[in-house]
Structure 1
């Protein structure tokens, strides 16, 4: 399928295929938000929990770079598991969030992270793989303090590579990015543009494109020149 594109997001001329646009996007967004936060995502308890923490932080109306920096600060302070997060004091969590620049929401978020860790320990033994076994895991995510519909989308968008029953998970924000790039606003059609292993990175890149118009313009220019 051919996408007609100029270097202007949302405007079209002849030239680039959808595949070329997707590849140009991946070439410019080599690391997901999770990777930027230092998370090596696997289907094991610690990285799954760290991905959930990042989803909580990204859910707030704050710059994504600040959320990523705050996640790294929490992890660098040793709060990489529900047990470590619950055992940390409220002030220790506030201090780590502040170090990452997450100051506007630090006190409220510290409370949510503490309560969320305690819930995970009580209900799932700190292991999100047990949440995966729930009849409706997405609904179960909404019980976790700090995780609303947006946070659940962020988490499932990231973990679809290790929880393949959710792939392709292209949420509303990612679809906004697809529209900006002139790509199909269909998860199935979008997932067909890249190898299966690249779907999480494509979804993440589409979110970047939704939030960053200059990036989208750069992607379309590069795809048209390819």
Structure 2
């Protein structure tokens, strides 16, 4: 195929019987020498991607626990078997949120955050990862507010001595930055697609140290 997709090839394999146990030997002859290998599981990943026949060959392993049959159980298995080369798209969907929040806190008056709150849908992995990141980075309690019928994160609220700094999403394609004594600032921020997230991970292909730290340390801090 070519055109807008770029020059390349798609090969679809349907291994049967004993070949299911030798997927690596089926794929190796099809690979371009010295090209980086990325393994992506769009739905249910193996419990330990690094030990998977295809995952063991990959320089980067991308999962999407949110699209698995049981997102919470899947994420727990991925946490137990985490390797530096692993990343989940539930985390990649937070890139713009994390960048915006960091930018907001990088402005005066540089007051300490006393507490935080996040809001969004129930059982939403990206929301849990955002809570874990904030808990780890700010070292303050992070409250969770469930918003019925929400399809993505709807807001982050950071309380300081001078008031509340917030990043709210009133619509799917827009957020509003609110800071004490300042006019609200609307910003275009559409919900990221899977293509957006995959493109980001394919550009990087390096271990995400922050994700590793959040999953291994920040996640448990949410419940402490």
- TM-score over 0.5 for the alignment? no
Greater Rg by CA: 2
> Shorter-chain TM-score category?
under 0.3
Structure 1 length normalisation: TM-score? Answer: 0.27
Greater length-normalized contact order (CA 8 Å, ≥ 6 residues apart): 1
Please identify which structure carries the higher strand content: 2
